[in-house]
Amino acid sequence: MKLKKILRSTLAGVVTAMTCYFSLISPATHAALALRRSMPDAWFSSSVTWYALGAVLLASAAIAVVVSRKVYKLESMDIRATSNPSDVEGHSS
């Protein structure tokens, strides 16, 4: 049962990381290229696209870790959807 929770949270994290990366890489690359064109003689001009890629990777990984932990915690809560609220333990009417 614990392996199932771990696999679900890992899958959610991987899917989130891929989605975030593909959503963020294009705007980050365009912003890096615009910055490079506006300041061609700056010290960071030659590697600004690498900085943008690193920022996107870090942001995607951070978001994926948060999502993975949240999914694992939700799986650990073991909430069962019931049609009758009185069937849930701890529910007092």
Q: Residues 32, 48: contact at Cβ < 8 Å?
A: yes
| Token pair belonging to 48 | 């600004």
Kindly indicate the confidence band of residue 16, based on its pLDDT and cuts at 50, 70 and 90: very high
| pLDDT tens, residue by residue, 25-77 | 999 999 999 988 888 888 877 888 899 999 999 999 999 999 999 988 888 77
Residue 53 CB partners (closer than 8 Å, separation 6+): 25, 28, 29
C-alpha to C-alpha distance for 32 and 44, rounded to whole angstroms: 10
C-alpha to C-alpha distance for 31 and 51, rounded to whole angstroms: 11
Q: What is the pTM of this model?
A: 0.71
Answer yes or no: is pLDDT of 22 > 80. Answer: yes
Give the pLDDT mean for 79-93: 54
Q: How confident is the model at residue 89, as a pLDDT?
A: 57
Measured CA to CA in angstroms, residue 79 lies from 34, 40, 73, 75, 92 at distances of 49, 56, 11, 8, 17
